[in-house]
Amino acid sequence: MDQFITFPTGERARKVMHKFGEKGGIRGIFGAIDCTHVRIVKPKGNQLFYINRKGYHLMNIQAVCDANRCFTSVLAKFPGSAHDSHIFSQSALCADFEAGRKSGILLGDAGYACKSYLLTPYDNARSRIEGRFNKRHARQRVLIEQAFGCLKRRFHILHGEIRLPSPTKVCAVVVACCVLHNMAIRRNLPDFYDVIDDRQPPEEAARPDQGHGGRSGPVIRDEIARLLMLA
């Protein structure tokens, strides 16, 4: 998988940031992050972990995509009851950002906490500055929703219930589909950019970080929002 799903570094990272900037105007963006649900058959063991608010048995798959809608990170192991923000907090990707091993900024929806490396939209934008930021943010963040839509159109098995005997095997299928999705994009095969909205409502108001040796997420977001008004 590492050969086909890799987080951008070096010159590739600069190209990703430039293309994201062309999409919406927010600079320094390395990727858009979100989760998507994949239905599974009723598993053995503690089934409650896999049930979402609609009563389906699911896996919740986290992914990051670049401006070409290629997946640069995929985490497929959490049950459907796990919230998006919890999955990210437990991921190696989050640990790398927290430790400074990765730099740059991700864009996420309001289900995530606003951090120095993960910017979320303003909740109920109260000014032109905040509203403009939210519009630009949405224009770039929608790429991950389009990537999920394209993935599920390419591989229709991901639309319905995957009838495999274990969640682990389902996750292996999902990752394989993500690899093939990336290969298809790199070979310029036709895309299908449906937006699939299976987001969960936030468990509670996401708490912004207080910074870890630097400026906090809300402070960085405010600075970017002001710069966008000058552009």
* 3-state secondary structure (DSSP) of residue 29: strand
Q: What is the pLDDT of residue 211?
A: 47
Predicted structure pTM score: 0.89
- Candidates 67, 114, 66; CA nearest to 221 is 114
Sign of the CA dihedral with 140 first, then 29, 121, and 85 last: positive
What sections of the chain are H helices per DSSP?
10-24, 84-89, 92-98, 128-154, 167-186, 217-230
Query: What value does the CA radius of gyration of the chain take, rounded to a whole number of Å?
Result: 17
- pLDDT computed for residue 162 by the predictor: 95
Condensed to tens digits (0 to 9), the pLDDT of residues 49-103 reads 999 888 899 999 999 999 999 999 999 999 999 999 999 999 999 999 999 999 8
Q: Are 41 and 47 in contact (CB under 8 A)?
A: no
Q: Answer left, alpha or beta for residue 10, where phi above 0 means left and psi between -120 and 50 means alpha.
A: left
In this structure, what token pair is assigned to residue 191?
């895309």
Q: Tell me if residue 205 falls in helix, strand or coil.
A: coil
Each domain of the chain, given as residue ranges in start order, spans 10-225
The pLDDT of residue 201 is 53
Q: Quote the pLDDT of residue 199.
A: 56
Task: Please give the Cα distance from 14 to 11 (Å, whole number).
Answer: 5
Dihedrals phi, psi of 200, to nearest 5 degrees: -95, 150
Residues of the chain predicted below pLDDT 70: 1, 192-214, 231
CA atoms within 13 A on the CB side of 213: 5
Phi, then psi, of 53 in degrees rounded to 5: -65, -15
Q: How far apart, in whole angstroms, are the C-alpha atoms of residue 100 and residue 122?
A: 25
Q: Residue 52, SS3?
A: coil
CA 170/CA 65 separation, integer angstroms: 21
